[in-house]
Amino acid sequence: MESIIVRATPFLRLPYQFDVARMVSELDDLLRLDWKAHYNEECFSGSWRGISFLSPSGQFQDITLGNPNVEEPLKATELLDRCPYFASVLSTFKCTLTSARLLWLRPGAIIKEHSDGQMGYEDGNFRLHIPVKTNDGVEFVLAGEQLVMEPGSCWYTNVNHLHRVVNRGTTDRVHLVIDGLRNSWTDELFFSLAPKEELLASPSYPVRSADRERVLEQLRLMGGPHQDEIIEQLLASWEDSTDRRNA
């Protein structure tokens, strides 16, 4: 029997439009803080920094992701009380959040092409981007397609696909980046926007060795009682996807 290849959905625009002026007003106050350089140092050049509204430690400079297999929820950082509108944006999503960060890409900065491990809806989680500040010189390419994200819009991005970003403009690019866990509420939302089989399909190309090492290092940083089990499952999934492509 001939196999049927289902095209994976690399991104979706969600039906939300947030108040740009209110986000920018709160952001301008936060830009005075000491933002943390992104931990994936080999993945970018220039200035790429972040702060967190929710983090494993409760510190706003902790921009690591929460471990979805650890029962303890993320802790609100001091920024959440300072930013009531951003807090209301986060409350829109009726699911468990595993990170909520502002990521700041300065002019001339480049996020090199890479992919992330187990960060798509097919893995039971998802990443959202909400642009707060951007410019026409920003190029965000995901799965070979350039996404034009207007301020205040909301996008699901399956970062298991290859993606890259460059800020060719003269002004900053700041996104609210949210990670969350799939549940019945998100299923109803996502499956109303794209076929279920496409949302749950995996990318058809392998995860590169450099990306694998980076993902494994991030999992080790996250820690937790299920760390070894998660790493074992991830390694098995990579091996299985390679076997399917070679079959």
Residue 4 lies in a domain: no
Domain with residue 92: its CATH number is: 2.60.120.330
Q: Residue-wise over 216-234: b if at least 16 C-beta within 10 A, else e?
A: eeebeebebebbeebeeeb
Q: How many separate domains does the chain show?
A: 1
3, 14, 149, 155, 191 from 128: Cα distances, Å: 32, 9, 12, 5, 16
pLDDT, tens digit, 9 for 90 and up, residues 114-155: 888 788 999 999 999 999 999 999 999 999 999 999 999 999
Q: What SS3 state is found at 84?
A: helix
Residue 30 lies in a domain: yes
3 within some domain: no
The pTM (predicted TM-score) of the whole model is 0.82
Query: Is the residue at 6 inside a domain?
Result: no
Domain that holds residue 35: 11-246
Kindly tell me if the per-residue pLDDT of 46 is higher than 80. yes
Residue 54 falls inside a structural domain:
yes
Task: For residue 124, give the DSSP letter.
Answer: T
Contact in structure between 99 and 50 (CB atoms under 8 Å):
no
CA angle 36, 135, 186 (to 5 degrees): 70
The 10s digit of each residue's pLDDT in 160-203 is: 999 999 999 999 999 999 999 999 999 999 999 999 999 999 88
Longest distance between any two alpha carbons in the chain, whole Å: 61
244 φ, ψ (degrees, to nearest 5): -65, -40
pLDDT at 30 over 60: yes
